[in-house]
Structure 1
């Protein structure tokens, strides 16, 4: 049985209920997983010293938990680990939508918003697991290829876990929405300019010998 067939739907809360364009909401938890797995970076928002702060950071998903990490010297992450509410978001832009009226120009996108309180990961095994989840999300295969973090490096890293219990997904796809008068009497071109993220050819570091082959876990993500 596919994994998504057994997943419960997203549970709406006051914070996770869309107030505009409710028809774009996805209630399927599998849709949340798909958006989180497809994006490469997230933004974590919180209030620090009375001011809002939004941080771009790497992350990774394991089941219904998102792990993210940063330096122990980061006041933002220390605050997040202290039990304050955080908001984690990802957005994937799939296309620019051109309509016959400027008012109906739009974007095709997939987005997810997760609310909650991040948990400081203190167990050594889970900390290492969380770091691997983050690594595997951004650079799969690296955990087996490169040196693992040593004790000094691990001591300098904060690992946080955020549960996906309170989340929303919003998706727009398809053609422009047009007014009837523009469909009938406006000759302007309309359509979608697709956008996609692609990986270019790898560029070896200057200190890597020229004869060193590009490892498979890097090569397979690049154009043939």
Structure 2
């Protein structure tokens, strides 16, 4: 009898099961969370009166719970506040793939789809904490050194949370994948890697004299991959 413990994974059913190229699917927490934590921007899909919408927004993860925010007047947030079904997606483009046949042109990528019931954060203390983490998830402990948000600013911002009930990751890391007989054709093919890299910081031109960039931003070094900085910041914020 094996003593092996299965890694935590999200349940799989007809909603989140990857049906096409299922060998690329992952459902374990580690893979899903790593892809989520490597991103800052997500897209949230929902339906209002039979009309589908998809909205881009910043988001962050706490355990198996996702948070995102927006204006309190947002149609998206007004309709995703009472346990409405929602789907949150994240995608990373890792390469463009040029093959010897148009059919085999592709891209390497990492993507996640998360499903759950979206609810508005209504408790005042929880809302303040969530808005703090909206900043500190990306820049750990930064909020403590900032001007405090006013009551009106907090009121103008809404926060939504969603427990991840189901999720699936889909990953392609194949590079060029031609039909075997096509490799002999005199046609050029290649994998073109794609990376999002941090550039040189551009300090605000109206900084008060003597104010310098703090060590809390060291993770965001020029030339570093954005996803590495985001994962490092998330790990620091929730350690």
Q: Same fold by TM-score, threshold 0.5 exceeded?
A: yes
Aligned residue number for residue 187 of structure 2 = 188
- For 1:206, the equivalent position in structure 2 comes to 205
Query: Deviations for 1:89-134, whole angstroms, at most 9, x for unmatched residues?
Result: 0101111112121211111111110111112111223212222332
Q: Distance in 2 between matches of 1:24 and 1:18?
A: 8
Contact (CA 8 Å) 2:27, 2:167: kept in 1 or not? Answer: no
Q: In the alignment, is the contact (CA less than 8 A) between 1:9 and 1:28 conserved in 2?
A: yes
SS at match of 1:12: coil
1:200–1:75 Cα change, 3 Å: same
After TM superposition, the structure 1 = structure 2 runs for residues 19-38 of structure 1, keeping only pairs within 5 Å, are 19-38=19-38
- Counterpart secondary structure, 1:159: strand
1: distance between equivalents of 2:108 and 2:139? 26
Q: Which runs of 4+ in 1 moved over 6 A?
A: none
Q: Quick one: distance in 1 between partners of 2:146 and 2:6?
A: 36
Q: Number of residues paired by the alignment?
A: 219
Question: Cα–Cα, structure 1 residues 143 and 93, in superposed 2: closer, same or farther, change >3 Å?
Answer: same
1-structure distance, mates of 2:147, 2:198: 24
The separation in 2 between residues aligned to 1:6 and 1:221, in whole angstroms, is: 35
Query: 2-side partners of 1:119 and 1:37: how far apart?
Result: 21
**Structure-1 separation of matches of 2:181 and 2:114:** 40
Secondary structure, counterpart of 1:83 in structure 2: strand
CA distance in 2, matches of 1:102, 1:94: 19
For the aligned residues, what is the CA RMSD?
1.9
TM-score normalised by the chain length of structure 1: 0.90
- Shift of residue 141 of structure 1? 4.2
SS in 2 for 1:96: strand
Distance 1:175 1:154, change over 3 A: same
Show structure 1 runs of 5+ residues with no match: none
Superposed displacement of residue 50, structure 1: 2.4
Higher mean C-alpha displacement, 142-151 vs 32-41: 142-151
Q: Which residue of 2 aligns with 1:126?
A: 126
Say whether 1:151 aligns with 2:147. no
Contact 1:60 1:135 in 2 (8 A): no
Superposed counterparts of 1:75-154, under 5 Å: 75-154=75-154
Report the CA distance between 1:219 and its aligned residue.
4.3
